Amino acid sequence: MDTKLIKDIWKDCPKSIEELEKLSLYSILLVLGGYISIGIGSLHFLLTTMEKFQFTRIFYFIINLIFGFGLLLSYHRIKVKTKKWAIVGSVFSLILIALGGIVGALAGIVSLLGAILAILATYDKNFGL
């Protein structure tokens, strides 16, 4: 496993509101989608598992973690090749919508909007805001 990549993503991702405000709109939406998927997905898993154990919740949790990290990876790499990583981010978003449960659907919708704006920003800089 490439720990340097994980450290780079951790260093690059915004950790406060002030850092988030400096980003373009599509970057904000991709990061928020990743944070929703990982953070709220983990919390949702813990709270629902205490209520009643089901294997589908473990599946949702794993999907939300993997593809939430994928959204953060897309955000990290979108600066280099915007169109390519925006398409990858939109695929991750669609997988979250389809397989991530209610939290994955929420994160997927937010990040899909960001990925669409990033694709449009490659054609017209006004979409990057």
Q: Which domain holds residue 97?
A: 24-127
Q: How many residues does the chain have?
A: 129
The pTM assigned to this predicted structure is 0.90
Tally the domains of the chain.
1
8 Å CB contact between 56 and 64: no
* Res 128: pLDDT: 61
Asked whether residue 19 is assigned to any structural domain, the reply reads no
| Residue 93 falls inside a structural domain | yes
What integer pLDDT is reported at residue 129 of this predicted model?
A: 63
Whether 103 is covered by a domain: the verdict is yes
Distance, CA of 31 to CA of 29 (rounded, Å): 5
Give the pLDDT confidence of 43-68 residue by residue, as tens digits. 999 999 888 888 889 999 999 999 99
Q: How far apart are CA 86 and CA 26, in angstroms?
A: 9
Could you tell me if residue 78 is inside a domain?
A: yes
Q: Is position 117 within any domain?
A: yes
Instruction: State the chain's mean pLDDT as an integer.
Output: 90
What pLDDT digit, counting tens, does each position of 67-123 carry? 999 999 999 999 888 889 999 999 999 999 999 999 999 999 999 999 999 999 888
